[in-house]
């Protein structure tokens, strides 16, 4: 992937900003997949960047491996419908949350708790499921977007990179 292959996330920003479940994966130098749970996200830079929040204590192996330019994949799934999208890209930065991002994280957590409350899960369950202690922001430059809703079309590309 080259930097000029970056794509714009604006067409799917509303979906990403909905109360989605998020799972994020990278890989070790020996190609062992490393998985963690995302706790919220925000489209940045007019759709050219994506910020995903993860908890450091829960993501140690992944964070120890990631560096600028590392490949990363993240799935975003609406619990109520199981509609899902996968974004693949490169790590552009890993940094502490800004004050604004901290507010965004809180909003994401509340939104997700409300969304799964409709499915019968308590606020305490949601707080455990998306444990948000000591978070960092993964700044991702997206390069591919895939359909990930369960079914035969899962894995098909939704938006092709700009060549």
Partner 1 sequence: MSPTLEALRPCFEGAIPAALATCATDGTPNVAYLSQVQYVDATHLALTFQFFNKTRANILANPHASLCVTDPFTATSYRLAIRYLRTETAGPLFEVMRAKLSGIAAHTGMTEVFRLLGADIYQVLDIELLVGPTPLPAPPRPKLLPLLRRATAQLNRCVDLDSLLGATLNTLTEDFGIAHVMLLLHDETRACLYTVASSGYDVAGIGSEIALGHGVIGIAARERTAIRIAHMTQEYGYGKAVREQMERIGLTGQLETAIPMPGIAESRSQMAIPVLWAQRLLGVIYVESPEDLAFGYDEEDALTVLADHLAASMQVLAGAESCLDADVAIDSPPPPVPQDSLLQVRHFPRDHSVFVDDLYLIKGVAGAILWHLLRCHQETGRSQFSNRELRLQAELGLPEIADNLETRLVLLKRRLDERQCGIRLKKTGRGQFGLQVDNRLSLDDAS
Concatenate the DSSP letters of all residues of 21-76 into one string: EEEEEEE-TT--EEEEEEEEEEEEGGGTEEEEEEETTT-HHHHHH--TT-EEEEEE
Segment lying near partner 1 (by CB under 8 A), choices 4-12, 32-40, 44-52, 106-114: 32-40
Residue that is written with structure tokens 């204590």 in the block: 57
Pairing state of beta strands 84-96 and 71-77?
A: antiparallel
* Among the listed residues 20, 34, 43, 140, the single contact to partner 1 using CB under 8 A: 34
Residue 141's closest CA among 75, 85, 73? 73
Told to check if 23 binds partner 1 by CB under 8 A, we report yes
Binding-residue pattern over the window 90 to 129 for partner 1, x denoting contact by CB under 8 A = --------------------------------x-xxxxxx
Query: Where do contacts with partner 1 occur on this chain (CB under 8 A)?
Result: 21, 23-27, 31-37, 57-58, 71-75, 77, 82, 84, 86, 88, 122, 124-129, 131, 133, 146, 148, 150-152, 154-155
């Amino acid at each position: 992937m080259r930097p000029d292959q970056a794509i714009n996330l604006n067409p799917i920003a509303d979906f990403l900003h909905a109360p989605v479940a998020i799972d994020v994966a990278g890989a070790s130098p020996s190609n062992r997949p490393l998985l963690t749970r995302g706790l919220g996200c925000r489209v940045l830079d007019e759709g050219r960047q994506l910020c995903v929040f993860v908890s450091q204590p829960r993501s140690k192996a992944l964070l120890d491996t990631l560096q600028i330019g590392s490949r990363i994949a993240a799935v975003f799934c609406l619990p109520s419908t199981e509609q899902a999208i996968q974004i693949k890209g490169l790590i552009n930065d890993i940094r502490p949350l800004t004050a604004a991002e901290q507010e965004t994280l809180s909003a994401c957590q509340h939104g997700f708790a409300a969304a799964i409350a409709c499915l019968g899960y308590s606020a305490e369950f949601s707080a455990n499921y998306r444990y948000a202690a000591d978070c960092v922001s993964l700044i991702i430059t997206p390069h591919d977007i895939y359909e990930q809703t369960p079914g035969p079309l899962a894995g098909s590309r939704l938006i092709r990179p700009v060549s």
